[in-house]
């Protein structure tokens, strides 16, 4: 296993730098210019050119990329074109709230999806199965931003039970209880969306495993149905579930961009939108760097979990 992990990490290095190169080229191919977003349109052309020169935007693309790469290899991500703050500082301030929101949403989605999928599979073609399937389709079909706006209107405006945005109450102490209260609505929206997509995967995987001969043998030995389903069947059904959950994490971070805008959550999503609107190339490169690390690491973690769940899987 150790040699396999080292080999995967070595393969990930050129993939990682390939991602940064493509990201840099795509950003610079997009219409617009950072200087146009920073300075009043009536500014003399000479001043615009001077600003571009100071930011290094007049250099050829390969020179700009090599400068950024040299800074990255020295542990620096550059400075934001809009706020002129270090990119590492901007990301460090925002990544915590995003990870908190994403991890809580993923946990809620899994806690809903796995029991619901198991119940649906065990009671195949029953009313309970049809109800679970209908709810999963409903959770998948409702756009997250629409569900979020609906919950804000009902729970926040009409009933006044929950805050409608932000991470803490303005002027408040900002304690754990206050943060949890502000997390309820966005976590519910993301958790329901994740659960809606995952219930069908869990159900299909469990149905495939429940027909296996070794489960009939386990029942014949006198094991309870609870042990047969939740210990023997579930563990062997986890392989495809791990795959879809591992793929969900990068998508969840991408989807949090919309949710953070809806609920004004101060995370990576809001920073990404601000960087896109201001054509802040260094900040966007830093965010793409984080996304690439998450995708590559989750692929490796998923493969390791395969072997952990199923001892028959080995890596030589």
CA–CA gap between residue 178 and residue 109 (Å, rounded)? 22
| Angle at alpha carbon of residue 54, lines to 33 and 93, rounded to 5° | 70
Question: In the structure, what pLDDT confidence band is assigned to residue 314 with cuts at 50, 70 and 90?
Answer: low
Query: Which of 51-55, 113-117, 140-144, 188-192 bottoms out in mean pLDDT, i.e. has the lowest?
Result: 51-55
Write the pLDDT tens digit of every residue in 211-226: 777 777 777 877 777 7
**In this model, does residue 2 exceed pLDDT 80?**
no
- Please state, in angstroms and as integers, the Cα–Cα distance from residue 232 to each residue in 187, 260, 311, following that order: 31, 40, 13
**In this model, does residue 163 exceed pLDDT 80?**
yes
Higher-confidence residue: 284 or 42? 284
Q: Let me know whether 128 and 243 are in one domain.
A: yes
For residue 85, being part of any structural domain is answered with no
For residue 314, being part of any structural domain is answered with no
Q: Let me know whether 54 and 154 are in one domain.
A: no
Higher-confidence residue: 90 or 219? 90
Q: Let me know whether 68 and 96 are in one domain.
A: no
For residue 83, being part of any structural domain is answered with no
The DSSP call for residue 266 is -
Q: Which contacts (CB < 8 Å, 24+ apart) does range 131-139 have?
A: 132/199, 132/203, 133/199, 133/200, 133/203, 135/196, 135/199, 136/195, 136/196, 136/197, 136/199, 136/200, 137/196, 138/196, 139/192, 139/193, 139/195, 139/196, 139/197, 139/199
CA–CA gap between residue 20 and residue 24 (Å, rounded)? 6
Q: Let me know whether 128 and 246 are in one domain.
A: yes
For residue 179, being part of any structural domain is answered with yes
The domain tally of the chain equals: 2
Question: In the structure, what pLDDT confidence band is assigned to residue 178 with cuts at 50, 70 and 90?
Answer: confident
Give me the pLDDT at residue 173, please. Answer: 67
Give me the pLDDT at residue 171, please. Answer: 67
Q: Let me know whether 113 and 66 are in one domain.
A: no
Sign of the Cα pseudo-torsion (272, 273, 274, 277, in order) = positive
Question: In the structure, what pLDDT confidence band is assigned to residue 39 with cuts at 50, 70 and 90?
Answer: low
Question: In the structure, what pLDDT confidence band is assigned to residue 312 with cuts at 50, 70 and 90?
Answer: low
For residue 196, being part of any structural domain is answered with yes
Q: Let me know whether 44 and 160 are in one domain.
A: no
The β-bridge partners of 86 are: 79
For residue 284, being part of any structural domain is answered with yes
| Cβ neighbour number for residue 49 with a 10 Å cutoff | 13
CATH number of the domain within which 287 lies: 1.10.3720.10
For residue 315, being part of any structural domain is answered with no
Domain end: 73, 104, 134, which one? Answer: 73
Q: Let me know whether 124 and 214 are in one domain.
A: yes
Q: Let me know whether 106 and 224 are in one domain.
A: yes
Q: Let me know whether 179 and 34 are in one domain.
A: no
Q: Percent of the chain at pLDDT above 70?
A: 92
**In this model, does residue 311 exceed pLDDT 70?**
no
Give residue for tokens 């679970």.
132
Q: Let me know whether 191 and 233 are in one domain.
A: yes
The per-residue b/e assignment along 57-72, b for 16 or more CB within 10 angstroms, e otherwise, is beeeeeebbeebeebb
Q: Let me know whether 231 and 99 are in one domain.
A: yes
Domain end: 15, 39, 73, which one? Answer: 73
Q: Let me know whether 32 and 168 are in one domain.
A: no
Range of the domain at 225: 91-309
Write the pLDDT tens digit of every residue in 6-31: 887 888 888 888 888 888 888 877 77
Give me the pLDDT at residue 101, please. Answer: 87
Average pLDDT over residues 46-63: 78
Average pLDDT over residues 264-271: 84
Give me the pLDDT at residue 303, please. Answer: 75
Domain end: 28, 47, 73, which one? Answer: 73
For residue 82, being part of any structural domain is answered with no
Mean pLDDT (the chain) is: 81
**Structure tokens, 146:** 């629409």
Higher-confidence residue: 228 or 199? 199
Contact 311, 53 (CB under 8 A): no
């Amino acid at each position: 296993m150790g040699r396999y992990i080292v080999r995967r990490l070595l393969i990930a290095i050129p993939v990682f730098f390939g991602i940064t190169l493509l990201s840099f080229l795509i950003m610079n191919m997009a219409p617009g210019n950072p200087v146009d977003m920073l300075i009043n349109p009536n500014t003399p052309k000479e001043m615009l050119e001077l600003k571009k020169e100071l930011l290094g935007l007049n250099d050829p693309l390969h020179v700009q990329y090599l400068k950024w790469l040299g800074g990255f290899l020295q542990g620096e991500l550059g400075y934001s074109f809009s706020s002129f703050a270090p990119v590492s500082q901007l990301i460090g301030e925002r990544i915590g709230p995003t990870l908190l929101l994403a991890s809580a949403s993923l946990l809620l989605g899994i806690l809903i999806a796995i029991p619901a999928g198991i119940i649906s599979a065990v009671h195949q073609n029953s009313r309970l199965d049809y109800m679970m399937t209908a709810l999963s389709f409903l959770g998948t079909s409702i756009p997250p931003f629409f569900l979020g706006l609906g919950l804000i209107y009902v729970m926040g405006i009409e009933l006044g039970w929950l805050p409608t945005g932000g991470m803490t109450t303005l002027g408040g102490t900002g304690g754990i209880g206050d943060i949890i209260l502000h997390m309820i609505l966005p976590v519910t929206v993301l958790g329901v969306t994740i659960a809606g997509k995952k219930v069908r995967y869990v159900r299909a995987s469990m149905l495939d495993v429940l027909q296996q001969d070794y489960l009939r043998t386990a029942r014949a030995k006198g094991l309870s149905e609870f042990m047969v389903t939740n210990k023997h069947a579930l563990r062997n059904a986890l392989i495809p579930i791990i795959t879809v959950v591992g793929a969900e994490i990068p998508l969840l971070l991408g989807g949090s961009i919309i949710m953070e805008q809806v609920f004004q959550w101060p995370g990576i999503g809001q920073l990404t939108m601000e960087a896109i609107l201001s054509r802040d190339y260094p900040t966007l490169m830093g965010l793409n760097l984080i996304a690439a690390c998450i995708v590559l690491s989750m692929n490796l973690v998923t493969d390791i979990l395969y072997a952990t769940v199923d001892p028959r899987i080995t890596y030589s």
